[in-house]
């Protein structure tokens, strides 16, 4: 059921919160061995939270998500529950505080079922770099889920939860949503507090929502969005009421179609499915506008230089001294740090630390990091120009559908280039939502993305919802 339907069932006592929670937990226990979407399942804590939600429902004081079971990506701090970032270096780390989003979810009565698997420290595009083993796609378990929020996307796709929280640094909510056939919303930078989100790249990271529909993601976003005194990058512009434009009509909207997103490297099946969605909008009274983003060809390079530089800085705290994993034996302070980090980090994390430190070195800073920052400004400017002519932008979410496990993981450049359709949104700090728009010849989902102006989440949610309802009617006929 959709979250709205679950809420109605719970409030009218047709369904009990504990009963609902147990049904999800039992399904996870039965089926997640094949998917590996969870690192930690919180059965006792979840059942206790469900009982508390039921008491609130019975007393008439239920919060907006009372009794709704959610999964949480394992880089979001949860007090008293392990938060590992899918890394050996944080294998036994138990936070002593909650992330702001967790405080808000708890206040709304949500039930956390567990912490989901991911690429280590959110670095990767396949969810195969996890210390706890890779995640398998519920559509085809021989395929990847995308990353880094692959466990979150798989937990929704497999029916293990009503919705999930993930994080999106360069597409890490939207790309897994596309690969797993669910909806993924990346809010505007600053719309949701990052306090308690273990940092990958601080100027790009954003907590997002995965669900079965745009409306489900909007309902959760209504709870977690807003300014936070613990995070100076949050904004008062994140006003909530993100379901306000659902059903409001889309006639007259102008949709930008950037030609660069449909060029070389994008599979024919993806292009065809996304353009079919564009024609749907046209038939509904929207106007398609041809637009251009010339800087797209530099976007992946700029993104990986900026994100790796920030990641190298953020991960310097993991030294075996303050907290986390420590090597068994070292003869000196320097050896302690070296061995701890060598043993505790996986290959992809090490690769990005090396790349980030190289880009920040004296003599290379201007050539790499500064140039990447200039490209960032250029991309922000190009989006601004497009939005002078358009209300939203339509693009593919990923160049291809989910590929076989092991097919690309040993080719970092190929993996990085797969982010071409998503990274510009993070570079510019804009909101975007991905939803299924078709299937390839093998039956794997294809995702399309709607990009909006800053803090205009309700607009892209409304337009996404209009398409989803039509697409689901087509699915029923099929």
Q: One of 73, 104, 115, 453 is an active-site residue; which one?
A: 73
Asked whether the beta carbons of 344 and 328 are under 8 A apart, the reply is: no
Give the whole-angstrom CA distance, residue 332 versus residue 330: 6
Instruction: Quote the CA–CA distance of 153 and 209 in Å, as a whole number.
Output: 9
Number of other CB atoms surrounding residue 91 within 10 Å: 16
Q: What is the pLDDT of residues 181-199, one digit of tens each?
A: 999 999 999 999 999 999 9
Residue 89 pLDDT exceeds 70: yes
- Is 361 a residue whose pLDDT tops 90? yes
CA dihedral sign of residues 254, 395, 178, 164: negative
Do 95 and 109 meet the contact criterion of CB atoms below 8 Å apart? no
308 is catalytic: no
Token pair, residue 38, equals 């969870």
Residue 217 CB contacts under 8 Å (≥ 6 apart), including other chains: 163, 183, 184, 185, 209, 210, 211, 433, 461
Q: Is the pTM of this model over 0.85?
A: yes
Residue 196 three-state SS: coil
Start-end of H helices in 82-181: 100-107, 150-157, 174-180
Q: What pLDDT score does 417 carry?
A: 82
For residue 64 the two structure tokens come to 């907006």
CATH of domain 3-224: 3.90.1300.10
The CA distance from 381 to 276, in Å, is: 29
Annotation marks residue 73 as catalytic: yes
pLDDT, tens digit, for every residue of 275-329? 999 999 999 999 999 999 999 999 999 999 999 999 999 999 999 998 899 999 9
Q: By the 8 A CB rule, do 305 and 290 touch?
A: no
| For residue 477, pLDDT beyond 50 | no
Strands 111-116 and 163-167: unpaired
Which of 397, 420, 332 is closest to 183 using CA atoms? 397
Element (H, E) at 45: helix 43-59
Strand, helix or coil for residue 164: strand
Task: Tell me if residue 148 is catalytic.
Answer: yes
Give percent of the chain with pLDDT exceeding 70. 99
Q: 268 exposed, middle or buried (CB, 10 Å; 0-12, 13-18, 19+)?
A: exposed
For residue 475, what pLDDT band results from cuts at 50, 70 and 90?
low
Q: Give the pLDDT band of residue 240 (cuts 50, 70, 90).
A: confident
Residue spans of the domains in the chain: they are 3-224
pLDDT tens digit string along 323-332? 899 999 999 9
Return d(Cα 82, Cα 366) in angstroms, integer: 40
On the 0-12 / 13-18 / 19+ scale of CB atoms within 10 A, 269 is: middle
How is 423-449 classified by DSSP, letter by letter?
HHHHHHT--EEEEEEEE-TTS-EEEEE
Contacts of 309 (CB under 8 A, 6+ apart): 356, 357, 359, 360, 369
Q: At what angle do helices 296-314 and 371-387 cross, to 10 degrees?
A: 130
Q: Given 126, 148, 308, 449, which residue is catalytic?
A: 148
Q: Give me the chain's average pLDDT, please.
A: 96
Catalytic residue among 149, 172, 307, 449: 172
The pLDDT score that the predictor gives to residue 152 is 98
Distance of alpha carbon 308 from alpha carbon 311, whole angstroms: 5
């Amino acid at each position: 059921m959709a979250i709205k339907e679950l809420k109605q069932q719970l409030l009218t006592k047709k369904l009990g919160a504990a009963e609902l929670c147990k049904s999800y937990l039992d399904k996870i226990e039965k089926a997640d061995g094949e998917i590996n979407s969870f690192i930690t399942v919180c059965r006792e804590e979840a059942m206790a939270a469900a009982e508390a939600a039921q008491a609130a429902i019975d007393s008439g004081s239920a919060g907006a998500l009372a009794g709704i079971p959610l999964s949480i990506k394992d880089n979001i701090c949860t007090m008293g529950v392990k938060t590992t970032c899918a890394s050996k270096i944080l294998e036994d780390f138990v936070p002593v505080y909650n992330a702001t989003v967790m405080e808000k979810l708890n206040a709304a009565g949500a039930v956390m079922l567990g912490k989901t698997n991911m690429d280590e420290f959110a670095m990767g595009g396949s969810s195969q770099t996890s210390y706890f083993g890779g995640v398998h796609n519920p559509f085809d378990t021989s395929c990847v889920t995308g990353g880094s929020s692959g466990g979150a996307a798989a937990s929704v796709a497999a029916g293990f939860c009503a919705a999930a929280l993930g994080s999106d640094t360069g597409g890490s909510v939207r790309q897994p949503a596309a690969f797993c056939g669910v909806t993924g919303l990346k809010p505007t930078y600053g719309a949701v507090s990052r306090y308690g989100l273990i940092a990958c790249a601080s100027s790009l990271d954003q907590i997002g929502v995965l669900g079965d529909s745009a409306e489900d993601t909007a309902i959760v976003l209504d709870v977690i969005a807003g300014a936070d005194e613990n995070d100076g990058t949050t904004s008062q512009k994140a006003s909530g009421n993100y379901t306000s434009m659902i059903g409001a009509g889309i006639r007259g909207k102008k949709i930008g179609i950037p030609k660069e997103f449909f060029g070389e490297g994008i599979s024919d099946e993806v292009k065809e499915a996304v353009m079919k969605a564009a024609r749907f909008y046209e038939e509904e009274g929207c106007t398609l506008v041809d637009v251009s983003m010339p800087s797209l060809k530099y976007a992946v390079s700029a993104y990986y230089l900026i994100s790796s530089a920030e990641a190298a800085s953020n991960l310097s705290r993991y030294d075996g001294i303050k907290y986390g994993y420590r090597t068994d034996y070292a003869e000196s302070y320097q050896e302690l740090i070296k061995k701890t980090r060598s043993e505790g980090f996986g290959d992809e994390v090490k690769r990005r630390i090396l790349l980030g430190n190289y880009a920040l070195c004296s003599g290379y800073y201007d050539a790499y990091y500064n140039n990447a920052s200039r490209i960032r400004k250029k991309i922000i400017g190009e989006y601004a120009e497009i939005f002078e002519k358009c209300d939203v932008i339509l693009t593919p979410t990923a160049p291809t559908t989910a590929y076989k496990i092991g097919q690309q993981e040993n080719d970092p450049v190929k993996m990085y280039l797969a982010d071409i359709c998503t990274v510009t949104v993070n570079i510019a700090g804009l909101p975007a939502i991905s939803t299924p728009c078709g299937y390839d010849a093998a039956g794997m989902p294809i995702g399309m993305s709607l990009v909006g102006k800053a803090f205009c989440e309700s607009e892209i949610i409304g337009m996404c919802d209009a398409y989803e309802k039509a697409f689901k009617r087509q699915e029923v006929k099929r």
